[in-house]
Amino acid sequence: MATVRINGQSRTIDGPDDTTLLWAIRDMAGLTGTKYGCGAGLCGACTVHVDGEAVRSCQSTVGDVAGKDVTTIEGLSPDGNHPVQVAWREYNVPQCGFCQAGQIMQAAAILKQKPDLTDDEILEGMSGNICRCGCYERIVAAVRHVSTGS
Amino acid sequence: MLHYLEQAMSDAPKQRAPELEFANVSRRGFLTIAATGFAVAAFTTQAGAFARYKTGGDFMPHGIRYDPKIFVSIDADGTVTIVAHRSEMGTGSRTSLPMVLADEMGADWSRVKIVQAEGDEPKYGNQDTDGSRSMRHHIQSMRQMGASVRHMLAQAAAKKWGVDAKSVTVGVHEVTSGGRKAGFGDLAADAMALDVPAFEDLTFRTEDQFRYIGKGNIPITDLHDITTGKAIYGADVSLPGMKFAAIARPPAVGSKPIRYDATATFKVPGVEKVLGLQISNFPAKFAPLGGIAVIASNTDAAIKGRDALEIEWAEGPHSGYNSAAFTEEMRATAKKPGAVLRAEGDAKAAFEGAAKVFARDYSQAHMAHAMMEPPVAVANVANGKAEIWAPVQSPFGTRGDLAGALNMPIEDVTVNVTLLGGGFGRKSKCDFAIEAAQLSQRIGAPVKVQWTREDDIRHSFYHTTSVERIEVALDADNKVTGWRHNSVAPSILSTFAPDSGHQFFIESGMGHIDMPFDIPNISVENGAAMAHTRIGWFRSVSNIPRAWAVQSFVAELANEIGRDHKDLLMEMIGPDRLLDPPKQGFPENFWDYGEVYDEYPIDTARLKNVLAIAADKAGWGLDLPAGEGIGLAVHRSFVTYVATAARVKIVDGKITVPEMHMALDCGFAANPERIRSQMEGAAVMGMTTAMHSGITYENGAVTQSNFHDYPMVRSDNYPQKVHTHVVPHGFEVHASGVGEPGVPPVPPAIANAVFAATGKRLRDLPFGDTV
């Protein structure tokens, strides 16, 4: 048994400390916005924030986040209107939508670190997140919009 | 797709006959009409806003439904609920089809709610979401149902107010007559109790009256849920008491486990059971591969327990499959004569009398779809009933397959369709749903089967591997007098029926037989290649290797004979004309994407037009800096015409694509915004196909496993700017689909651009990202 703070709430995880954070979030905490895409830290679909930084939850364990704050897509903004979420809607970014929670969490994290990202920084910062539908142009445009207003 | 496979498999001609007969009758019918100038008057409406036409939708299982009482309901508060009966996998059909209905009806989109249909074709009509045909087959029924409800609302108001129906106007979500006014909700109960008007009694909006259709002003319906993590995909379904399963499947199809040791598996906390599953070998349609299942209390334990299994697999029927050697075998086969599928003129004589023969071959490796959501399904089989929640493209096909696998009547099986985290054809095959249902039946509890990415890459129904060889005969003036195209590739049919090594009519209809060039002597051939893995359809299907070969070849030929590529391509397409299949040696069973040929003929003017647009917008013919080049390709697939002009820039040996122009003619453009997103996506998937997507086999097992060795285009190198140019048409030019046609021209356009930039010719997919 371990306790993890997710979106400001303490949750008891019925599993050992080496339980993969992604599955603890999905199966045990019941928060399904965070997605499984590869299980190997290669696609970014499972991205969450741990103490404000983007982390691949498929590569973290419950033990790794003890005493830390985990934020998932459900907790990114109380009303769902984080500037990145708003920009995603403005650009009608998603196609199938499956990777987008991870994309949004990644974008929010890199924008928090540096609010005025250059294009190269956006491309580099988002390169760990795969979108098989191929929404990159809109993803980059939405991040750029939040970053520079253009 | 499935429908045609079943057709092809059945040796009973009566199954295929109706369509063939219709095609023939219609062809004659068209000639009569053309000769007399007779319009399709029986179907025109008052304003001529909507002349009905025939689509292949009528030939699909269960056809098309036109009853608004099935698709529309209106609450007293005015909320309009519209059923989405097609699966949403990213193309936007869950938004675009209801949008068409809502616009024709007069509904305010902000008051429209979408509900997803369960798998029930007798009720909703065909639900197979593939073949780029959701809009193509259903735009007419959506308009008709919308108009029907509008008429019913008007009639209800007229009756209520005791006025002539002609004095009633249906505005946006309200009905008025003189000073009277009522909302849709006020009239709903009365209106929906009325009989549905006949098509002939309906009026339709003219295009200038559309608010949403053709405008591209509607965000996708799931946008808010997707951006807040609330959208429900397959794995997001949870049932009380549900168990979690991961399965170790045979490394080579059909291999059986000799022994296994689950000691380490049972040490994983949460693991509850280990179960052996029956091994299958193709042809077995969508039967699960079998293997050893680990049942656990959560997904993490199931996967870790599965990974801890020690299994020794026996050699199986396909353990000798080595794809590198197989490609060379196909290359040798392609050089020999194949079974002739289309013969026009006398190709043999043309080659014998040629001043010169020019030949090249082009290969493609297998591909896995690698949609971001790997296969997953939740099943609850209890008390003689089965209920499944799964991201499936063919909900009713899934229901039938489940009924068979569970030995239950289809009435006792329910298939709920979640959102699909990508599909690309993989999720038309419901092996994962059968796995979940059979496990649930066996253990007496709800089960979720989660495929890992490794499972997805290693146990797919793969895009076929191929060698396409093209030879042309040239006369002394370098004019092409003969064309021979031999396609060698294992067939999708091998998944469904004993393998002959030969392709079947739908594969041959995808850019092979229907080659549109104006060449007098043509031989289209198919050499045999046996399947050694499960072959399935992948977005765009055989059009990918065909466009790759044909469009690369013409560019090579242009270079060989010192011609401008665009000029030669235009010249080879030839004069504006509609191809006449029987006259041009097409076989009787030529497949025009399941359509009546005369409704969607091969139109060279439209093909040349998109090519001209793409080339012009990309600046074809302008001087470019060293290390840069523009490449062109044009291809008709799924009755849509797409040309790609790719601009490539080589940066330190790496192929980058700063700009791509996608020019398309898809007839009437119902939702230009989602058409654009499909073209942007096709540019990316086409680039991934061109550079990265290669599944290879050693001793029957897939070599790749995850995104490190089966990579995808990412934001650090993607087509930076995709310009989509949609040829504008009125509703009278039949809408076609856009889910697949964007992909095929992209790989040859990139390769042709790489050649222009570097002089290096690429002939094998995938060709990597460096030169």
3-state class (DSSP) for residue B442: helix
Which of A38, A82, A143 to mutate against chain B (most B CBs within 10 Å)? A38
CA B173 to chain centre: 35
CB < 8 Å to B420, chain A: 96
What are the start-end ranges of the H helices in B596-669?
604-618
Question: What is the predicted pLDDT for the residue at A149?
Answer: 87
Q: Does B242 touch chain A (CB under 8 A)?
A: no
> Is B714–A136 a contact, with Cβ atoms under 8 angstroms apart?
yes
pLDDT band at residue B680 under the 50/70/90 scheme: very high
Q: Alpha-carbon dihedral of residues B763, B764, B765, B768, nearest 10 degrees?
A: -90
Question: What is the predicted pLDDT for the residue at B10?
Answer: 57
Q: How many CB atoms lie within 10 A of CB B720?
A: 19
Decide: B550 and B515 in contact? Cβ < 8 Å: yes
Scan for tokens 């934020």, then name that residue: A71
Scan for tokens 């964007």, then name that residue: B742
Q: CA-to-CA distance for B98 and B82, rounded, in angstroms?
A: 6
* Tokens representing residue A24 in the block: 């603890």
Calculate mean pLDDT across residues B74-95. Answer: 98
Q: Alpha-carbon dihedral of residues B160, B164, B166, B169, nearest 10 degrees?
A: -30
* Res. B575: pLDDT tops 80: yes
Q: Can you list the residues of chain A whose pLDDT is less than 50?
A: none
* Tokens representing residue B306 in the block: 């599965």
Calculate mean pLDDT across residues B16-30. Answer: 29
Decide: B260 and B269 in contact? Cβ < 8 Å: no
Which of A27, A76, A88, A110 to mutate against chain B (most B CBs within 10 Å)? A27
Calculate mean pLDDT across residues B37-59. Answer: 65
Decide: B271 and B294 in contact? Cβ < 8 Å: yes
* Res. B38: pLDDT tops 70: no
Tell me which residue in B303, B708, B721 faces A137 most closely, judged by beta carbons: B721
The mean predicted confidence, pLDDT, of chain B is: 94
> Is B300–A27 a contact, with Cβ atoms under 8 angstroms apart?
yes
Question: What is the predicted pLDDT for the residue at A1?
Answer: 75
Tell me which residue in A16, A132, A134 faces B680 most closely, judged by beta carbons: A134
DSSP state of B207: G
Question: What is the predicted pLDDT for the residue at A2?
Answer: 85
Question: What is the predicted pLDDT for the residue at B19?
Answer: 29
CB < 8 Å to A128, chain B: 714
3-state class (DSSP) for residue B277: strand
Calculate mean pLDDT across residues B686-696. Answer: 98
Q: Nearest CA to CA, how far is A124 from chain B (Å)?
A: 6
Residues in a beta bridge with B760: none
> Is B712–A132 a contact, with Cβ atoms under 8 angstroms apart?
yes
* Res. B17: pLDDT tops 90: no
Q: CA-to-CA distance for B277 and B288, rounded, in angstroms?
A: 9
> Is B228–A127 a contact, with Cβ atoms under 8 angstroms apart?
no
B352-362: pLDDT as tens digits: 999 999 999 99
CB < 8 Å to B684, chain A: 131, 133-134, 136
Q: CA-to-CA distance for A2 and A16, rounded, in angstroms?
A: 7
Tell me which residue in A22, A101, A127 faces B715 most closely, judged by beta carbons: A127
* Res. B43: pLDDT tops 90: no
Which of B715, B717, B721, B738 to mutate against chain A (most A CBs within 10 Å)? B715
pLDDT band at residue B27 under the 50/70/90 scheme: very low
- Please, which residues 354-383 of chain B have a Cβ atom closer than 8 Å to chain A? 370-374
Calculate mean pLDDT across residues B527-537. Answer: 98
pTM of the model: 0.95
B160-213: pLDDT as tens digits: 999 999 999 999 999 999 999 999 999 999 999 999 999 999 999 999 999 999
> Is A85–B228 a contact, with Cβ atoms under 8 angstroms apart?
yes
Q: CA-to-CA distance for A25 and A45, rounded, in angstroms?
A: 13
Tell me which residue in A33, A45, A130 faces B230 most closely, judged by beta carbons: A33
* CA end-to-end distance (rounded Å), chain B: 37
Tell me which residue in A28, A89, A126 faces B223 most closely, judged by beta carbons: A89
pLDDT band at residue B9 under the 50/70/90 scheme: low
Q: Nearest CA to CA, how far is A137 from chain B (Å)?
A: 7
Interface predicted TM-score of the whole assembly (ipTM), two decimals: 0.99
Question: What is the predicted pLDDT for the residue at B36?
Answer: 28
Q: Nearest CA to CA, how far is B520 from chain A (Å)?
A: 41
Question: What is the predicted pLDDT for the residue at A150?
Answer: 79
Q: Does B654 touch chain A (CB under 8 A)?
A: no
φ, ψ (nearest 5 deg) of residue B742: -70, -25
- Please, which residues 431-470 of chain B have a Cβ atom closer than 8 Å to chain A? 450, 452-454
Question: What is the predicted pLDDT for the residue at B49?
Answer: 83
Decide: A103 and A19 in contact? Cβ < 8 Å: no
Calculate mean pLDDT across residues B313-339. Answer: 98
Decide: B528 and B502 in contact? Cβ < 8 Å: yes
Tell me which residue in B219, B235, B712 faces A92 most closely, judged by beta carbons: B219
Query: A58: nearest CA in chain B?
Result: B300
B753-768: pLDDT as tens digits: 999 999 999 999 999 9
Task: Provide the percentage of residues in chain B whose pLDDT is more than 70.
Answer: 94
- The vertex-B544 CA angle with B538 and B550, nearest 5°, equals 165
Q: CA-to-CA distance for B381 and B395, rounded, in angstroms?
A: 17
* Residue among B90, B24, B48 nearest B233 (CA): B90
